[in-house]
Amino acid sequence: MVEFIHRLCHVEHQLPPPDTPEHISTRHAARRAQAVPILNDLKARLDAMLGTALPKSAVAVAIRCLTNHWEAFVRYTEDGRLSLDNNLSERTPRLAKAVIHLSDYESIDAAERAIDPHFRERNEYFRLHPKRAGKKIWGKEPAPREFSAGSNCKDPKWCR
């Protein structure tokens, strides 16, 4: 099983970021050509393992869980904007909320004006040193940032 996941991750690491329409279509085509056959092999292996595993064993429960959610698991192959995992989608809203909660800016625009110069410098460094960049490029968040009067440090319930 680990080998299948390793092969899928290897395909993903070779793909460009989904920042332009060309990159999105490249990601989609590469996944269809490379990841879908791996996923088909994985599904066949899971089905074979499910036939030999004890029905109430942890392995059988895990396999049934994955096969029951198979359509959602492989959905990323149909859209070049999606990611194999959900790390970025979980991390980004938390980062935006943390910046706003821990600041005393009046609005998102005020926070961005103060913070953007730092992230422009950091992003430039990451562009020059891509092995250290990961997916931490500011301004490419998939989730919108939200601001409300109660979401900053001026709100007494957030101040200690």
Structure tokens at 81: 């904007």
- With a cut of 70, say whether residue 100 has pLDDT above it: no
82-86, 129-133, 153-157: which is most confident? 82-86
Predicted pLDDT at 9:
87
134 vs 107 pLDDT, higher one: 107
User: What is the model's pLDDT at position 32?
Assistant: 94
pLDDT score recorded for residue 40:
95
